[in-house]
Structure 1
Amino acid sequence: METIGQFLSPTRQAEILPFETAPRPVVGFARNYPAGLSTGMHSHPRAQLLYAISGVMRVDTGGSNYLVPPTTGLFLPADAEHAISMDGPVAMRALFMREDAASRVARAAKVIAVSGLLREVILAACAEPVDWEPGGRGHHLSELALDEIGRASPLPLGLPLPRDARLRRVVSALLARPDDTRNLEDWATVANASSRTLARMFRAETGMSFRQWRQQVRLTAALSALATGATPARAAAIAGFDSVPAFGAAFRAQFGLTPGQARQLHPGMHG
């Protein structure tokens, strides 16, 4: 594992090394992390499917910001620089993939829906040793995992991040406070650019209008809040909605599930 900027402890690097160098095409990696932990920017020589059975991960790749709640996984290609922040305690159950295996499922980063079957396969793979017996249970789990990941539906949980320094000031503030109500004219002062210039640059660098981008930031923040136990009313406020039904409609249109269903992703919620 290569680190950039923030130092990761030698102990943590030593823990991961066997999974980065395992001779098998797919190996499972299981670790629990405390709330608030941030890894800093780093990369791995192998592709990964980042998944958590509980907790929400935020993953920054420099060009995109991804939210990864339970029931979803993030595929990252080999050598992709990324930083992971834990929203609440996270029980990570990830897969490391050798180059030949990763090439069968994807070439670029993507968030996927993790089916019940894939979840159980990931958990079973994590229980196997890194040098599982060729032709044995580990082999069958590996093949099934790759098939499920390749078939999985991509989800709109990646938020494109602009490179321009002026836009970065705006998006950093909105990522920190998604419920900020300032309009584009107000943000123009922060960015030291005209509102027309900001609008044009937002479209050019993110493929979205400012309004669309901010809406996705807000709904993503609401999803994180719901998955860590917030009420739909609280999530609606985080997303800048006065009306809970209007929030629910927008949330379902974006993510394909209701706020109530998203709240069930929190391990403390039942029924």
Structure 2
Amino acid sequence: MFGKSENRDDYQHIERPIGGMARTLPDRFYIDYHSHPRAQLIYAYSGAILVDTEMGSWVVPPQRAVWVPCDMRHAMQACGNVEMRTVYVRQDAVPDELTTCCVVAVPPLLRELISEMVRMPVDYDEAGRDGLVARLLLQEMRPLSVVPLHLPMPQDARLARICTRIVADPSDETSVEAWSQSVGASERTIIRLFPEQTGMTFSRWRQQARLMAAVRLLAEGRPVIDIALQLGYESPSAFTAMFRRALGMTPTEYFRETPLR
């Protein structure tokens, strides 16, 4: 499509500080855990990408990107048919604000800069227009202070068992009392550990898991009514209300088509 390699390894030791790569990923395409010496900005022009790390999971819809630092192990899965754009950044060129895995907002300017970056040759002219594009792209990447599509995972093995079950079935309504009997921890311990290890209460974490599942299903083209029922909501309106509270718009508005370049 762009006449450039689609192999991530070909971008790790290029001479320029950054390089852009484009790939088309079919629905549910999975890239297993891996790491590379360059940091990575992962962005989808269409569909969504689920990014997993040991720190937790992120969903990347078209208005967002995920920043993965150098040498961090991560895995990715396409949610729907995905036009992925990714930028690899040499460690000495990483912006100061991007010290850890985080979500980056992608307003129109940054979207266009990413588009230009993936079209540029890997040996672009640093002293010319392409060099200006590359430098501006680095300046425009800023972490979001609020991360609505991040699902932090706890380190405690008992909480991890609960979270794994909820991720597998976000409609699960098992109470803290029932979980305490299942994982061998008291209700008080579970209630205390969730905020300590995830920054969220148990109920907030479960809602966050449902929200992320909803975004993935929307990216796959599932109808809102089906998603609402699958996630345990009494009606599509109840699901839409939750979605609007969390992300500021309805599910339909959230995946309004983004033009490809």
Matches within 5 A, 1:223-238: 223-238=215-230
> Aligned partner of 2:227: which letter?
A
> Aligned partner of 2:62: which letter?
P
Partners of 2:186 and 2:146 in 1: how far apart? 36
- Aligned residue pair count: 255
Q: Which moved more, 1:236-245 or 1:217-226?
A: 236-245
- Residue deviations 1:113-139, cap 9 Å, x none? 211221121111101111111212321
Offset of 1:221 from its aligned partner? 0.9
1:149 alignment partner in structure 2: 141
- CA gap of 1:119–1:14, structure 2 versus 1, over 3 A, is closer
Offset of 1:79 from its aligned partner? 1.1
Q: With the length of structure 2 as denominator, give the TM-score of the two structures.
A: 0.89
Matches within 5 A, 1:1-271: 15-150=7-142, 155-265=147-257
Q: With the length of structure 1 as denominator, give the TM-score of the two structures.
A: 0.86
- CA gap of 1:228–1:262, structure 2 versus 1, over 3 A, is farther
Partners of 1:74 and 1:201 in 2: how far apart? 27
Q: Which moved more, 1:171-180 or 1:139-148?
A: 139-148
* Aligned partners of 2:45 and 2:62 also within 8 Å: yes
Offset of 1:104 from its aligned partner? 4.1
Offset of 1:254 from its aligned partner? 1.3
> Aligned partner of 1:233: which letter?
I
Q: Which moved more, 1:55-64 or 1:14-23?
A: 14-23
* Aligned partners of 2:54 and 2:73 also within 8 Å: yes
Offset of 1:256 from its aligned partner? 2.3
> Aligned partner of 1:231: which letter?
P
SS at match of 2:141: helix
- CA gap of 1:143–1:154, structure 2 versus 1, over 3 A, is farther
Offset of 1:200 from its aligned partner? 1.7
Partners of 1:152 and 1:205 in 2: how far apart? 21
- CA gap of 1:265–1:206, structure 2 versus 1, over 3 A, is farther
SS at match of 1:54: coil
SS at match of 2:47: strand
Partners of 1:154 and 1:127 in 2: how far apart? 31
Q: Which runs of 5+ in 2 are unaligned?
A: none
Q: Which moved more, 1:164-173 or 1:243-252?
A: 243-252
Offset of 1:51 from its aligned partner? 0.5
1:7 alignment partner in structure 2: none
